[in-house]
Amino acid sequence: MITLKEALKLSQSELENLKKELNEKAKKEQKIGAYIEQFLAKDLSDGGKGIPIAIKDNISVKGWELTCASKILQGYVAPYDASAIVNLKNNGFSPYGRTNMDEFAMGSSSATSFYGKTLNPTNFNRVPGGSSGGSAAAVAGGLALASLGSDTGGSVRQPAAFCGCVGFKPSYGRISRYGLASYSSSLDQIGVLTQNVEDAAILYDAIAGYDPMDSTSANIEFIKTASKLNAEKKLRITVIENYINNASEEVKNTLLKSIDMLKANGHEIIYRQMPDSKFDIAAYYIIATAEASANLSRYDGVRYGRRSEDFHNLKDMYINSRSEGFGEEVKRRILLGTFVLSSGYYDAYYIKAQKTRALIKAKYEEILKDCDLIFMPVTPTTAFEFNAKKSPIEEYLEDIYTISLNLAGLGGISIPVGKNKEGLNISAQLICKAYDEQTLLDGALSLEKIIKNNK
């Protein structure tokens, strides 16, 4: 598949041909299930003049159905463009197909979608990761040039790592959340999934920047990154030693090799420890579910999407619409979130989680005071098999290396650095100081080049 950088040079007719080609390819590759709806006919005829970008089905595109892969939103049509989509269109790109995801972005396997699961293009028995599994599978499987996803606890970085593409989540507030269906508002951030680091910078530049429509948008200067990328900068990089050591043997060994290569190429490497990640998991699943329980209360059978046909009074209608419309994992999280916010438990769970969040943020800040970037795994293992996780908690543990970043509000990127014996992808995660995306992308480009040169 051609890159975004190459696509920027195509003529209008070449672009039309590319879209047709993508369309044909996607028809053949339907088994992967990357898209809920792909290559809308109108994109081939009218406005869609730009470079096609696949969009996760929780980002509003005016006139398109927006389902968050949930039954409850079936038939809901977005009345406006998300700000990220407005920016995308203004910069020569066109939304092009709705990618599959875990229902309401809750999950790490893309197996909870109402529309069926997405398969990992490298190995159909393996999950593509989640929740932006469709966005990652589309890029890694050659079914999209690039895609948008959302990352609340790792949903851009983890599926990118499982499928073998680049997944970049900028600092909280860099990309407007206006028009992104809320899961956990204090953690949610739109991110990009691309074939390489340069494309990640190009797509990020197209959609980032302050937006008065989002009160949490970062009102600070945004300087475009792609034209300033510099892979030659020598950086001071902190390796989180205990996280590397706790990853599976194959992930650990591959990452240790990458660290050696970074050193050999003139980057300075220092080693630090982070507190046990079980605290991150606990804090995240309290905060995320608490916010989700409030955010998802708007799906009541009245204002959005689907309403139950079976009811006798208003209360019945609410209950039946929600019972029929939400899947099992979403219900579990609404229940959990409602519980941790309930009187008597609020202090014991929610307040404690917020205090833990503050400590995690402070720890990152302390480490980043002394270096340019942090290096750690994205995931403890390579892509797991469908049904490998015996309980929800087991799947939650997949997020141990990604969620703390959202709790701290920092930017992170997942870069493919190797494969295991079966050909499954292994990625490294780089993390930057808040809003220092330029250094993050510079470091990521350097790592990408080093890996390529050592192949």
Interaction mask 287-326, ligand GLN, x per CB under 6 A:
-x--------------------------------------
Is residue 53 part of the contact set for ligand GLN (CB under 6 A)? no
In this structure, is the dihedral angle defined by the CA atoms of residues 110, 112, 113 and 118, taken in order, positive or negative?
Answer: positive
Q: Which listed range, 16-24, 90-98, 99-107, 240-248, lies at the site for ligand GLN (CB under 6 A)?
A: 99-107
Note whether 400 binds ligand GLN by CB under 6 A.
no
- Single residue of 155, 217, 295, 414 touching ligand GLN by CB under 6 A: 155
- By CB under 6 A, tell whether 399 contacts ligand GLN: yes
Closer Cβ to ligand GLN, 76 or 401, answer by number: 401
In the complex, minimum distance from the CB of residue 326 to ligand GLN, in angstroms, rounded to a whole number? 15
User: Scanning residues 174 to 233, which ones bind ligand GLN (CB under 6 A)?
Assistant: 183
Residue 105 interacting with ligand GLN (CB under 6 A): yes
Q: 235: burial class by Cβ within 10 Å (0-12, 13-18, 19+)?
A: buried
Position 352, amino acid? K
Residues 15-34 that bind ligand GLN (CB under 6 A): none
Strand 412-419 versus strand 425-432 pairing type: antiparallel
Binds ligand GLN (CB under 6 A): choice among 22, 106, 296, 430? 106
Q: In degrees rounded to 5, what are phi and psi of residue 200?
A: -60, -40
Residues 60, 94, 135, 155: which is the catalytic one?
155
Interface with ligand GLN: number of residues (CB under 6 A)? 13
Q: Is 437 in the site for ligand GLN (CB under 6 A)?
A: no
Catalytic residue status for 186: no
Give the contact letters, 107-126, x = binds to ligand GLN (CB under 6 A), - = no. Answer: xx------------------
Binding segment for ligand GLN among 103-111, 250-258, 266-274, 380-388 (CB under 6 A)? 103-111
Question: Is 56 assigned a catalytic role?
Answer: yes
In this chain, which of 118, 131, 195, 321 binds ligand GLN, going by CB under 6 A? 131
Site for ligand GLN in 254-293 (CB under 6 A): 288
Catalytic residue check, 363:
no
Residue from 48, 52, 133, 153 in contact with ligand GLN (CB under 6 A): 153
Q: What are the residues binding ligand GLN (CB under 6 A)?
A: 105-108, 131, 151-155, 183, 288, 399
**Residues known to be catalytic:** 56, 131, 155
